[in-house]
Structures are given as C-alpha cells and as structure tokens.
Amino acid sequence: MVTLGLVVAEFNATVTEQMEASARDAANEHGAEIAETLHVPGAYDSPLAADRLARRDDIDAVAVLGAVVTGDTDHDQVISTAATQKLTDVSLDRDKPVTLGIIGPGMSGAEARERTDAGARTVEGAIDLVEEQNDDGVFRPDSARRTQCNARNQQSRIATRS
C-alpha cells in the first residue's frame, strides 16, 4: 500500500477544500493511505510542510494542493513560481516524489472552481511515481511502467463513467 502525505493550502478554501475531497476519493479508489494532512495558509507556504512530510520514513510521497488565482498584479506568477521551484527542491533533496497540485496562475476564481479534479490527478500521480520505482528506488523500465500506468488510467476512466 502506498502511504501519502497531503499538504493543502487554505487560501481560496472554496476551491482547495474540493480539491482535498477529490484527492481523498482518489486515494481511497486506488488503495492508498493518507497518513497525515497538513493545512497551510497559502500555496507559498506549502514547501515547508511538504519537506516535513517528505522527511518521514512512513510516507512514500507527498501531494501538494493549492489554488493561485489572478489579481491586479503579477503576484500570482511570483507565488506560483516560488512554490513550484521549492517543491521541486524538496523532492530532489529528500529523494521522494512531491507532486504538484497547485492550480494557476493566470486563472480566475471561476476557472479554478472548474479544476478541482486536480486534487485527484495529483494523488494519482504520486501513487504512480511510487509504484513505478522498484524496492531500491530505481524506476522500472518504460514498458513495465507504461503497462501499469495504462491499467490505472483505464480503471479511473471506468470509475468516472459509473
């Protein structure tokens, strides 16, 4: 079983709460456990929480959720860029998958509300990354990885239609 850490930004809570719900549903559908959820004020604050979770031996991967919407300035671009860069650093420094589910920048609140399924996709990506590695942390050959991902995607499509 894959064990995940989940980081959820509270800014734009009407969006991120729905993202969190879709992430939890996806984890349940794929037999993964969310060991701990950390809520942070905003997407910019997520790298520290992701790092804390990634340090834990009982967590296989971390999924990060947030929503950055456009305002009157380029602030959304700055926040998204900084958070993305630091989350990549956490993943590389801890040698653990950290998947990016921060939607935006450059979108309105209405567009963000239409993309709450990003929570599920982020968790599915984290599960796939963990399952693509062998016990030594080495990624499997492409053919084996592709077969497993295709099977998971097919299951997701069938579940969505039901």
**Per residue in 7-32, pLDDT tens?**
999 999 999 999 999 999 999 999 99
CA angle 9, 14, 19 (to 5 degrees): 60
Given a cut of 90, whether residue 93 has pLDDT beyond it is yes
The pLDDT of residue 94: 96
Statement: residue 135 has pLDDT above 80: no
What pLDDT score was predicted for residue 71?
81
- Position 46 scores a pLDDT of 97
Average pLDDT over residues 114-142: 85
Which residues sit opposite 65 in a β-bridge?
Answer: 8, 101
Give the pLDDT confidence score for residue 91 in this predicted structure. Answer: 97
Is the model's pLDDT at 75 over the cut of 60? Answer: yes
61: left (phi over 0), alpha (psi -120 to 50) or beta: beta
Q: What is the rounded distance in angstroms from the CA atom of residue 116 to the CA atom of residue 45?
A: 20
pLDDT confidence of residue 133: 79
pLDDT of residue 108: 85
In this predicted structure, what is the pLDDT of residue 123?
A: 98
pTM: 0.85
3-state secondary structure (DSSP) of residue 46:
helix
Range from 41-45, 90-94, 115-119, 141-145 carrying the lowest mean pLDDT = 141-145
Positions marked active-site: 75
Q: What is the mean pLDDT of residues 94-111?
A: 92
Three-state secondary structure call for residue 80: helix
